[in-house]
A and B are shown apart, each in its own frame.
Chain A
Amino acid sequence: QKEVEQNSGPLSVPEGAIASLNCTYSDRGSQSFFWYRQYSGKSPELIMSIYSNGDKEDGRFTAQLNKASQYVSLLIRDSQPSDSATYLCAVNIAGNFNKFYFGSGTKLNVKP
C-alpha cells in the first residue's frame, strides 16, 4: 500500500463545473496536508494547506480533511481551462517535521 494514494485520472470536467480531487493516506499520525498544482514541465506550486478536520476555503478552492477516514480532498469551483494540470496531494510523515509523502497526482482536464 502506498503512503498517499490518488486516482491518476484524467478527470475531465466542463468549464464552470466543480472538480473534486481525492487523496487517501496511510499514516494515521500525519498532521499536515497540502495540495499542489503542477503544470506539465513545471514544478509544483502550493495551492493550500490544511491541518484540522473540516473544510478550508480559499477563493475557488476548498480543501476538506477527515482524519478519522484518512481522507483529504480538494474542490475547485467554477473550473477554468487554466485549472487543467496535475494536482499533487502531500502528507507529512508523522513525527517528522520535514518529510512529506507525495501522491502520484491526479490529472485534471477542464474542457471549454
Chain B
Amino acid sequence: GAVVSQHPSWVICKSGTSVKIECRSLDFQATTMFWYRQFPKQSLMLMATSNEGSKATYEQGVEKDKFLINHASLTLSTLTVTSAHPEDSSFYICSARVGAETDTQYFGPGTRLTVL
C-alpha cells in the first residue's frame, strides 16, 4: 500500500503555543489529503479535506482559524494548531487518497498532541 508519514509522532506543548504537524505522501502524489482527530476510545472524526493548491474544506464545528491547513505541494500537507489549549490534546491523523480515480485512503502513523 501507499506510504504516508507524519511528523512529529508526538508533541507536548504549553497552553497558548502553536504546533505544526506535517503529513507527507512518500511514494505517490496526493492531490487530496485529510485530517482526522481521534479522542481516546472514540472513532475518527474528519476535521478537514485538504486539496493541493486550494483552500481546505473544513467540517462543521471545526474552527478554520484555529486549525490552519496548508497543502502547498502534491506530497505535503500541514496542520497548525494555533493557540493550543488542553482540550486540543488528541491524536491527529492524516490520510491521503491515491489518485483521483480511487476513494481508498491510507493513513499516516498519527501525531499525539498533549497540551499542558
Contacts and interface: CB of A to CB of B under 8 A. Distances in A.
Interface in B22-52: 32, 34, 42-46, 49
Most chain A beta-carbon contacts within 10 A, residue among B1, B42, B103: B103
Given A98-B97, A99-B46, A103-B43, A46 B104 contact: yes
A43 B49 contact: no
B104 A100 contact: no
Interface residues of A, number: 20
A42 B109 contact: yes
Interface in A19-61: 32, 34, 36, 41-46, 49
Contacts of B97: 98
Most chain A beta-carbon contacts within 10 A, residue among B32, B43, B97, B112: B43
**A contacts with B: majority SS:** loop
A98 B107 contact: no
B107 A88 contact: no
A107 B42 CA distance: 12
**B contacts with A: majority SS:** strand
Nearest to A45: B107
Nearest to B111: A43
A44 B103 contact: no
A57 B29 CA distance: 29
A80 interface: no
Contact of A104 (B1, B34, B42, B112): B42
B109 A43 contact: yes
Interface of B: 1, 32, 34, 42-46, 49, 91, 93, 97, 103-110, 112
Interface of A: 32, 34, 36, 41-46, 49, 88, 92, 97-100, 102-105
